[in-house]
């Protein structure tokens, strides 16, 4: 299973008035980490969109489990992997560590989509190519 690890330094603007990371920022971090995971698999997002003629991999479901807060000045490590493949969807599991302690987990469900012909706004799910799935069965490790 391919795992990507990315370090993120918590900045002042990431925090709420209580001095801890404002929870929507974690979802932004994980969106960037999903892109980094695909890049590690050899599919940087601009190339992914062009090569596979897709409209993207939008988020359709997300949930989080908050365990330990992070604050300004902390450096966290995000470990990301695809935990499950469906026909046109896939799940990404992000574990965020503060030093060696699991601080939170975020679970994403995303869909492989293309534009509906003749419609400039709507998309539809299409099967994820097997060659894309195969890229995530490689060795794990740090970036």
74 labelled catalytic: no
Catalytic residue, from 16, 31, 100, 119: name it: 16
Domains of the chain: 4-137 (3.10.129.10)
- Give the span between the Cα atoms of 70 and 73, in whole angstroms: 9
83-105 confidence digits (pLDDT tens): 999 999 999 999 999 999 999 99
Residues of the chain with pLDDT under 70: 138-143
Q: H helices within 1-143, ranges in order?
A: 23-40, 45-51, 130-134
């Amino acid at each position: 299973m391919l795992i990507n690890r990315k370090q993120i330094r918590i900045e002042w603007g990431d925090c709420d008035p209580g001095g801890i990371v404002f929870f929507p920022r974690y979802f932004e971090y994980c969106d960037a980490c999903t892109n980094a995971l695909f890049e590690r698999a050899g599919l940087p997002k601009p190339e992914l969109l062009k090569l596979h003629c897709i409209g993207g991999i939008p988020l359709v479901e997300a949930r989080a489990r908050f365990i330990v807060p992070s604050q300004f000045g902390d450096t966290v490590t995000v470990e990301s992997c695809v935990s499950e493949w469906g026909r046109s969807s896939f799940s990404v599991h992000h574990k965020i560590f503060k030093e060696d302690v699991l601080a939170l987990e975020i679970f994403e469900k995303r869909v492989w989509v293309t534009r509906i012909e003749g419609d400039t706004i709507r998309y539809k799910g299409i099967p994820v190519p097997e060659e894309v799935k195969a890229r995530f069965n490689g060795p794990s490790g740090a970036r």
